[in-house]
Amino acid sequence: MLKDQTMSVVFDGNPLKAMQSSHTHTAQTALSAQELSQEIKSFISGVDTVQGRKLSVREHARCAVRLLRSVPACRGAVLEHLRGVYDEHVSAFLHNLETEGDGSSGVSSNLEDIIQEVHGVLSEFIRLNPRAWAPLVSAWAVDLLGQLSSKHAGRRVAPHSSSLNELLQLWMSCAATRSLMEAYSQCLAAMLAWCPDACVDALLDTSVQHSPHFDWVVAHIGSAFPGTIISRVLACGLKDFCSHGAKDQGLLVMGADKGSRVPKIGSVVGILGHLAAHHSDSIRKELLRMFQESLTPSSPMSPTSSSTSWENSPQLRRAAVPFLLQLAAMSPNLFGAVSAELVELLRPPVLLHLQALLQGLPREELDNMLGLAVHLISQSPSGGARVLRFLADTATPASVIISGPTPSPHEGVREGCDRLLQTLLLHLHKLVFNRMDGSEVSPHHSASSQPQRVIPFLEELQSHIGELCAETLRLERKRHLWLHQLLCLLSVYGGPSVATEAFCQLLTQARNPEELALAWQLHTTLSSCIAGLIPAAVARCVAQIHTHTLGPRQLRQLLLNLAAAIQSQDEERRGAAGVQSSMAIQVGSAVSGHLHDFGPLLLHGDPAVSHAAVRLLSCSPLPRTSSPAHLLLLSRAAVTHFFLALRRRGEGGKVGRDGGQAGEAVNWSVLLLSRFAAYSPLTLKAVLQQLVEGALHKGNAELFGGQIADMSGAPVTSPSVSPDLGASLLDINCRFGTTVNFSGSVWSVFHAGVIGKGLKVRTAANLPDPSGVIQNVQTLLAVIVQCCSSSGLNGSINGSRPPSDPDEPAPINAEAAKVIAVTLVENVCPDVANGELSWPPEEHARTTVERDIHIRRCFEAHPVLFPLLQVVAAGRPALCYCSAVLRGLLATLLAHWEASRETLSTDSPWHLQASCLLVSCMGEGQLLPPVLANVHEAFPHLTPFEVRLLLLAVWEYVRGNGPMPQKFIFSSEKGLFCRDFSRDGDVARYVAPIHSVLHKNIDRLGHLCWRFQL
């Protein structure tokens, strides 16, 4: 079909001509034997034997054609003669071109019709009997084409042999060569059916003979018959390659063009390159097929392969792989076509065959091939990742490949791959670093204009960094070493952005110290060439956090890794200083610059993430300067996280396994808070304030054994529990005056219930796990104490305070205690009226009954208040600022004990405990002298009334000696504020009731007498 098309395009009306000639042949056969004999004579001599004159070229050619039609024996001679005619035409044609066709076109046009005539006859013959004529004509046409194209290659108009397309254009515009080409195509089309080999072999033999000048023919034919030509061209190239041996390879790899010494492979590359434009698919299939065929064990007489094919020669089969490599090295097009699918083909059986094949080669040749393969891989623009994975998979020792996609390969194959991989790495290393050297040196040389050499393999891998990192981190025996090396190369090659990416990936993906160590190794390698890697990486991580590109697990891992990085610094300080020191410090400083970015993660919904965040924050150094807004935000987050951690610990304790982690989280949180508090007065204040507020907050109260209190301080009944009291807002509003909460006034005592409905129902306090509560309270206290005791207020962050006695707790900072005290008062005492520090006479307490009850309720609802008070007390003179609270509580206690009709104080345990704690606190806070402060020891042994007496004495003393901070003096040797009671009034007058009570109960209190000595 193709044939017909081209024919009708190029030689219009040719079939018609053929028909005409077939009609006329009867006339020609009418030539008698005598005439034929004359014709032959004329033909041989070139002289018209009848008329005795010389034949013109045309007449001679006509005569030849007549003979061709009538005397079979003249066939060879006629064809040979026609060569001359064609050659003449080509000469005339080219000459015409060279002289720009100035009127001298007579000769060429004259011969053109003869050539058409010849062509008509030949194509008619081929059409009528392809079997007989096609081999003959094809051989002739090809040979003549080769002769013509190489003979006229040197002509001025002829383009250089390397520009196939121009050549093609030139020759196809010449009638003679075009006619030959047509005839050959026709033959080939006819012969494809039964013996394509012979035909193409002739073509290629000619191609070799007239090597570069003939390529246009092969290319043209090839694009007309891609399937046949491609495989044949390859086979032919292979044969030639085999016969030339591998000795030229080395030269070719280096790109040294040896001109005429380039064997057939150059032509093969040229031809295939030309075909690749339109038939890359067939070429790829053919190349891959060649590869596969060369490896499949040969059946001695396989019926499928054609008789002359290379598959039957073991030598050629062996040469196929080197040949393909060579081919790929010479033509990026071809290589690109194959590389993608080649890797897919390399299954274990294929590899085994390959190995068996290569074993037979001499060492030098193998080295050559290795170099070639490495060169190819490094230059391959796509599929690098797959190649790499394949190499690594195959080269990894079998024992480690447990469930790889491919079963473990043969040991020899593995070693081969190993070697290949290492050579590749070495090669890349050279490329990368030479390139850098080149670019550095370039200013001194003329090479400055030369752009940096691109390494396609690395270019492509840059987009696979994530996978590479993941692979590396799998820490498979040798594999990660290779990949790590490759990562280094990639980073150096790609510059800071790639390095950052890689480092960042490693930081995100590493799951344990060993894996993380890879990141440090990478950094160590890169630190020499890339500056500022760590800050950039951290910044990038932060960016990822902000864009939410990381999942919770990754996020957590990243935070933990960063934390581990920073902590390694501490370890070093203890142990041997390693390479990581500078890095740990760098990481630390980089992280500290982004603390506010990590802060919000403390409250991340995933406990694991928040846990990791607290760990990171707790160990990261704090920035030298930071804006207050950031600090406040951070402190709020930290405190919130603290309570969250406590809650999780409580919940986790029940579940079991997570308990440990939750506990750890609490510890980290405590550490974070204390460090943070120590950072600056602002943070200290913020932290403490929020801690106290948080502890008293509704949501957290239960953590510390508290009950949720309503406005009035009474525990709220849960809706389900409380019976409907029938109280409606309307009713209450109708009864004017009863609903208004005149807080602080005597009429507004509603806390006991709605009048007429009886007392409020107290909810049965469902106290949570007491041990948990105790633990929580302890933790809270610990954190508060730590915050308070770190002398952050004095400016030094860490290490400045000499640990004089490690067992002795550090003194509570007064300023910090004051913050707590003030916060306590703000939270517990709702009313600022009567908030002065000095105490009124006890009778005046009546005016503040409402507020006092509220305060007492608060203390009831929040058991944690007493420990907090104790802390405040320890930070003298901060307790003074709690004066209102103390007073209110004492007032309610006095009222209770006065009203109590119990026989023993122990019958109202809470009040007893509250009384004891209150007094001891005041003693600790040095609001009371030791004598008075000790009275609480006697409380449990007394009657309520006696307790009241003693408390009254306390009241009296405080009223007499107001709790004023001014009364405290800083003693530098203790590092504390102390109150010198001797400056105050005589204590004795307040001690009298104590002594009376002692006397009264001397039988039970004898052992306490010494406590009340003045």
Binding residues vs other proteins (CB under 8 A): 22, 25-26, 28-29, 32-34, 36-37, 40-41, 43-44, 68-77, 79-81, 124-125, 128-129, 131-133
Q: At 976, which helix (H) or strand (E)?
A: strand 976-979
Between 34 and 446, CB nearer to other proteins: 34
Residue number, 37 or 778, with CB nearest to other proteins: 37
Two tokens at 730? 């309307």
Residue 46 C-beta: closest distance to other proteins, Å = 10
State the nearest-atom distance from the C-beta of 136 to other proteins, in Å: 8
Q: Smaller CB distance to other proteins: residue 78 or 111?
A: 78
- Closest distance of CB 99 from other proteins, Å: 31
Q: How far is the CB of 147 from other proteins (least distance, A)?
A: 14
Rounded CA gap, 558 and 554, in Å?
A: 6
CA distance 369 to 321: 9
DSSP H/E element including 979: strand 976-979
Comparing CB distances to other proteins, the nearer of 28 and 834 is 28
Residues 6+ apart with CB under 8 A from 881: 818, 821, 822, 825, 837, 965
CB contact at 8 A, 350 and 320? no
Residues β-bridged to residue 971: 976
Pick from 917, 813, 912, 938: which is nearest to 867 by CA? 917
Q: Which residue, among 140, 15, 122, 127, has the nearest Cα to 68 in the 3D structure?
A: 122
Closer to other proteins at the Cβ: 47 or 632?
47
DSSP H helices in 210-347: 211-224, 226-244, 249-253, 264-295, 314-330, 332-345
The smaller minimum CB distance to other proteins, of residues 33 and 301, is found at 33
- Least distance from other proteins to the Cβ atom of residue 129, Å: 5
- The distance of closest approach from Cβ of residue 294 to other proteins in the complex, given in angstroms and rounded to an integer, is 34
Q: How far is the CB of 74 from other proteins (least distance, A)?
A: 6
CB 207 to other proteins: min, Å = 23
Q: Which residue in 371, 382, 283 sits closest to 329, CA to CA?
A: 371
Q: Which is nearer to other proteins, 81 or 641 (CB)?
A: 81
Task: Provide the minimum distance between the beta carbon of 420 and other proteins in the complex, in angstroms, as a whole number.
Answer: 48
Residue 77 or residue 350: which is nearer to other proteins going by CB? Answer: 77
**Residue 891: CB partners within 8 Å, gap ≥ 6?**
842, 845, 848, 849, 852
Rounded distance between C-alpha atoms, residue 386 and residue 467, angstroms? 11
Residue 521 sits at the vertex; the CA angle it makes with 517 and 526, to the nearest 5 degrees, is 145
CB of 242 to other proteins, least distance (A): 26
We find the least distance from the C-beta atom of residue 87 to other proteins, in angstroms, to be: 14
Residues 199 and 340: their CA atoms lie apart, in Å, by 32
Q: Which class for 486: exposed (0-12), middle (13-18), buried (19 or more C-beta within 10 A)? A: buried
Q: Closest separation between CB of residue 131 and other proteins, Å?
A: 8
Q: Pick the closer one to other proteins by CB: 41 or 419.
A: 41
CB of 130 to other proteins, least distance (A): 9
Any idea what the Cα angle at residue 169 is, between residues 167 and 170, rounded to 5°?
A: 65
Q: Is 776 exposed, middle or buried (0-12, 13-18, 19+ CB in 10 A)?
A: buried
d(CA 239, CA 197): 14
Nearer to other proteins, 3 or 220 (CB): 3
Q: How far is the CB of 423 from other proteins (least distance, A)?
A: 49
CB nearer other proteins, residue 60 or residue 279: 60
Is 673:619 a contact under the CB 8 Å cutoff?
A: no
For residues 626 and 681, what is the distance between their CA atoms, to the nearest angstrom?
13
Least distance (Å) between residue 209 CB and other proteins: 17
Cβ proximity to other proteins: between 44 and 352 the closer is 44
Alpha-carbon gap, residue 724 to 784, rounded angstroms: 42
87 or 606, CB closer to other proteins? 87
- DSSP letter for each residue of 148-199: HHHHTTTSSSSPPTT-HHHHHHHHHTSHHHHHHHHHHHHHHHHHTTT-HHHH
CB of residue 128 to other proteins, shortest distance in Å: 5
Identity of the residue, 30 or 402, whose beta carbon is nearer to other proteins in the bound complex: 30
Cα separation, 903 vs 918, in Å, equals 22
409-446 burial, b if ≥16 CB within 10 A, otherwise e?
bbeebbebbbebbbbbbebbeebbeebeeeeeeeeeee
As beta bridge partners, residue 977 has: 970
- Strand-pairing partners, residue 979, are 968
Q: Cβ closer to other proteins: 43 or 493?
A: 43
Please, which residue, 70 or 717, has the CB nearer to other proteins?
A: 70
Smallest gap, in angstroms, from Cβ of residue 58 to other proteins? 18
**Smallest distance from other proteins to CB 160, Å:** 32
Distance of CA 523 to CAs 435, 513, 519, 545, 590, Å?
21, 15, 6, 22, 15
The structure tokens listed for 513 are 């110290």
Q: Which is nearer to other proteins, 71 or 356 (CB)?
A: 71
Tokens of 705: 């054994």
* 915/909 Cα distance (integer angstroms): 10
Q: Which is nearer to other proteins, 36 or 352 (CB)?
A: 36
Cis bond before residue 877 (omega within 30° of 0): yes
